């Protein structure tokens, strides 16, 4: 079973942006996503408080997980290491779309460490410590919880009026949401992308080591 896991975060990427990249990646790699799990409630929460996520992973017969980037798993280093350990222990194959790499239980430890260190560097970046929403990002919407269903309706060629009736929401507000998030483009999977060569080596090369001061006589 192939599952895409989407977790919006106010300092990273919105759900529709992740879905757009994931759908393009799936097309390019001939992957058929069986289910989308959009997690709207776990922003900034520790793993111990994200039982709905761990229970979902444990209850499904998942062998392949597709996520946009490492931070989707967690932005807490302790939790991230635990999630990596448990996912790989349970023989998941994890596709990281942004880096175009796949982590399996047989993967090089350097690849895993490279992915973790990329996130460490981002979190240390002063630009990620700004207060408020980053310039250009989209604020959360009451429609975010329906995003997977809206995409399915678009794929089924339902009109905005039909979707609004089914969701019991305002047609004009739904239309604005679909247009601002470019959900038709996401739903129709019109984007394609090619995986770069030597993707794993590029991840490993981003690891930053502190300067080692050598002492001599």
pLDDT at position 165 is 92
* CATH of segment(s) 2-203: 3.40.50.1390
Cα–Cα distance measured from residue 22 to residue 29, given in angstroms and rounded to the nearest whole number: 10
**Every domain of the chain and the residues it spans:** 2-203
> Against a cut of 0.75, is the pTM above it?
no
The yes-or-no verdict on residue 129 having pLDDT over 60 is no
pLDDT digits (tens, 9 = 90+) for 47-81: 888 888 888 888 888 899 999 999 999 989 999 99
Please give the share of the chain, as a percent, with pLDDT higher than 70: 85
The yes-or-no verdict on residue 32 having pLDDT over 80 is yes
**HEC sequence for 39-107:** CCCCCCCCHHHCHHHHHHHHHCCCCEEEECCHHHCCCCHHHHHHHHHHHHHCCCEEEECCCCEEECCCC
Phi and psi at 195, nearest 5°, equal -75, 130
Helix (H) or strand (E) holding 38: strand 35-38
Packing angle, helices 171-180 and 147-155, rounded to 10: 90
The number of CA neighbours under 13 Å toward the Cβ of 24 is 18
Cα–Cα distance measured from residue 82 to residue 103, given in angstroms and rounded to the nearest whole number: 15
pLDDT at position 136 is 44
Strands, sheet with 93-96, edge to edge from the N-terminal-most edge strand: 35-38, 2-6, 64-67, 93-96, 101-103
Confidence of residue 189 (pLDDT cuts 50, 70, 90): low
Helix (H) or strand (E) holding 165: helix 160-167
pLDDT at position 132 is 46
Query: Whose structure tokens read 């990002």?
Result: 137
Please give the share of the chain, as a percent, with pLDDT higher than 90: 34
The yes-or-no verdict on residue 180 having pLDDT over 60 is yes
pLDDT at position 125 is 76
């Amino acid at each position: 079973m192939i599952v895409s896991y989407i977790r919006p975060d106010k300092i990273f990427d919105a759900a529709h942006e992740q879905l757009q990249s994931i759908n393009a990646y799936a097309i390019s790699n001939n992957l058929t996503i069986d289910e989308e799990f959009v997690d709207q409630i776990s922003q900034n929460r520790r793993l111990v408080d994200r039982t709905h996520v761990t229970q979902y992973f444990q209850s499904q017969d998942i062998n392949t997980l597709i996520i946009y980037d490492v931070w989707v798993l967690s932005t807490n280093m302790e939790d991230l290491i635990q999630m990596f350990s448990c996912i790989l222990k349970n023989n998941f194959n994890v596709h990281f779309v942004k880096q175009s790499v796949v982590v399996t239980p047989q993967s090089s430890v350097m690849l895993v460490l490279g992915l973790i260190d990329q996130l460490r560097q981002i979190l240390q970046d002063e630009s990620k410590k700004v207060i408020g929403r980053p310039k250009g990002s989209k604020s959360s919407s009451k429609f975010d919880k329906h995003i997977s269903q809206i995409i399915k309706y678009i794929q089924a060629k339902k009109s905005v009026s039909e979707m609004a009736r089914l969701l019991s929401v305002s047609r004009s507000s739904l239309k604005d949401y679909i247009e601002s998030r470019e959900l038709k483009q996401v739903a129709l999977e019109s984007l394609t992308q090619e995986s770069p060569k030597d993707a794993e080596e590029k991840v490993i090369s981003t690891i930053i080591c502190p300067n080692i001061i050598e002492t001599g006589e």
